[in-house]
Structure 1
């Protein structure tokens, strides 16, 4: 007679395994981001030695604090998924296709970034980029990246750059708005969902 697994026993094991996979996924992204920044910074400092005088290493205490904050954020991200704020699957949204497509382009853009750094060019755009009507804040080469905010290709690179900048936890940081947003929407529980409008106001950093 074949026995049937008890789902009540499998559920805690499955949850623990999924959490372990999530932690491993985030740790891999963190280590990769750190390695990328270390290599790219070394190359930049080699090409532009004066850049070394503009930066200073973080103290061990601050590095430890940053690591603790990142771990806390990952734990909150996991807990919110367990509460049903968003599906657990969201935690594993595959970034691989975009990564494989745009990561090589980040390296190809690096020599252009070096050139803009050396020439102190902060508002350099291709001739076909439409610049009319934008506030001055947007007419910059953020991170000295080609075309700043103003082209599709630069937007794709910027999104990946931000994730690397924040050690692979950018999506988790963005999801922090979902819990208070979902709680706030309970005020309108009597209003049909199709009548509810949410205004997303971009405010920069």
Structure 2
């Protein structure tokens, strides 16, 4: 985690804006940041690959929005950021403007569960959902049931959860089935897909 009073740099590692670096003063977020590491972020986008092209990407517990910005650089059509901290929401908007993405984003300052309930009511769907709550929060077990009926995940969509490697996630939740878990030291990425897709879950 970056020191409270130092700068953290949002780095775009692939796609159209590859190589861009946006410095962010961590104190301006008004709360400690635990950014996704470069290694884990690269692994995440290697998993998603070409599926990002023209997709809708949902970044829950968005922090500075670095993951969603990377998705846009790599071809996502739109990214939706959900973050409860108002100062982080402001940072996301500022970073998107510096990257020229302000017309391709939506930022919602609210609890992730509340957002998912509203998205279900509005009939919104996403092709990729990235979930990265605070590791010790217990949020994952509360979030999965809100996605497990498949109402907000596209038929071929994918959910990727970043979590502590000390935690083993459930094999299934409603219509979701767990795929592979990728471990990177203390951090792991676990895949979920809709069961009714058929075939092997990767």
**Which structure is larger by alpha-carbon Rg, 1 or 2?**
1
Please state which band the TM-score falls in when normalised by the shorter chain.
Answer: under 0.3
Between the two structures, name the one with larger relative contact order (CA 8 Å, sep ≥ 6).
1
Higher strand share: 2
Higher helix share: 1
TM-score, scaled relative to structure 2: 0.21
